[in-house]
Each structure stands twice: as C-alpha cells, then as structure tokens.
Amino acid sequence: MRQLFHGELARLGGRLAGMCGLAAESMRLASRALLAVDLQLAERVLSDDAELDRSRSNCEAHAHTLLALQAPVANDLRTILVAVYCADKIERMGDLAAHIAATVRFNHPAPVVPPELECVFTELGEIAAGMADRIGEMIVTRGTDGFAELDRTDQAVDTLHARIMAMVTEPDWPYGTRSATSLALLSRFYERFADQAVSVARRLDFAATGRLPT
C-alpha cells in the first residue's frame, strides 16, 4: 500500500517535471518567435498553452485524489501540497511565454525588439528557459538547495531587466513610446517567468526539508 502510494507520488512528480519541460519549450519558442518575428511560431506557442493548462488540471486532480484516498501526513502531505502549488506556478510560466508570443502576433509584421536589444532578449530567453528545465530536474532529483541556485540565476535576470528598463526610458530613446512600453512589458514577462521558477525551487526545498528558505 505504502509502496503503491510512493509510486503515485513519483507519478505526480513526473507530471510536474513534464510541465516544466512544456514551459521551457514555450519560452524557447516564444523567444525565437520574438527575435525572428515569426508569426507561425508565435501562434504555435499560443495554441500549445492549452496543453499546460490541461496538465495543471490533471496534476491538481491527481493530488486531490491522493489526499482524499490516502490521507497522507508529514512529508507526504507536504509533498502533495507543494505539487499543487508548483503546478499553479508552472502553468503561469506558460502564460507568460504566451504573453510574449501574443506581443509578437499583435505587432506582426513589425519587429518588437530593435537591433541593440536583440542580445539582451536572446540572453533573457535562454536563461529563463534554462530555469524551467532546471526546476524540472530538481523535481526528479529531489535536491535540497535549488532555491539558492535559482535565486542567483534570477539576479542575472533582474540585471538584464533593469538594463532594458534603463534603455527604453532614456530621454533620447529613438523608437517611440509604443516600442518602449512593449519592451518594458516584454521584459517584465521574462522577469516574472524567472520569479515563478524561483518560487517553485523554494517550495521544492520546503518539500524536501520542511523549511521554507528565505
């Protein structure tokens, strides 16, 4: 019975890790769509988002069933509650990737990112997708110091975000306010994506140790 239950927990972890893979993929495609001004790719990110929404529903239903049928306590209860929390945050990561794609679609065929910001957005996209991959790995390996690692990565994201904000708010910004506001919001989508990944890592540490790192 106990072994069966732990098999179910592992299956729930597998679902969550799968969600991380989807979020990472959405972020990669959305960033590529943004930089290549690729409408078809943007549309794909937008339509793929429904899969992540379904996965989150399935995770929740699975967790709910485990709670109702097994009435777990201590570590097991914590693990299931953390899974519900993480599913919500990973779904949100997908939403943020979809927001990037929607910005591409809204502005198409005009590019949103001017040449001097292409490198920064490329880097943001790679770091953000890498964070989603990383929390997927952490779910599987059940590490205990993911928060410290992702928090460091998040600081790099914050620095890039600040750099973009400084550039678009300079008085001599040459591309107009529509471009500036689009870029400010885009940059915030990346920053929030990274924030969600950090909050997932924090809860994974909590699941493993019973202490919420600060």
Q: Under the rule (CB under 8 A), what is the footprint of a copy of itself?
A: 64, 67-68, 71, 73-74, 77-78, 81, 84-85, 88, 165, 168-171, 173, 176-178, 180-182, 184-185, 188
Q: Least Å distance between CB 190 and a copy of itself? A: 14
For 196, the token pair is 């969600």
The position carrying tokens 């209860």 is: 77
Pick 140 or 167: Cβ nearer a copy of itself: 167
Pick 39 or 180: Cβ nearer a copy of itself: 180
For 173, the token pair is 């910004």
Pick 2 or 170: Cβ nearer a copy of itself: 170
Q: How many residues does the chain have?
A: 214
Q: Least Å distance between CB 24 and a copy of itself? A: 23
Pick 40 or 177: Cβ nearer a copy of itself: 177
Q: Least Å distance between CB 212 and a copy of itself? A: 8
End-to-end CA distance of the chain: 36
CA 207 vs CA 112, 114, 164: distances in Å: 40, 43, 35
Q: Least Å distance between CB 213 and a copy of itself? A: 14
H helix or E strand, kind and range, residue 59: helix 39-70
For 201, the token pair is 């890592």
Residue 132: name the closest of 113, 159, 153 by CA.
153
Contact 5, 75 (CB under 8 A): no
Pick 37 or 180: Cβ nearer a copy of itself: 180
d(C-alpha 105, C-alpha 109), whole Å = 8
Pick 85 or 190: Cβ nearer a copy of itself: 85
* Number of Cβ within a 10 Å radius of residue 65: 13
Contact 22, 55 (CB under 8 A): yes
For 65, the token pair is 């069933």
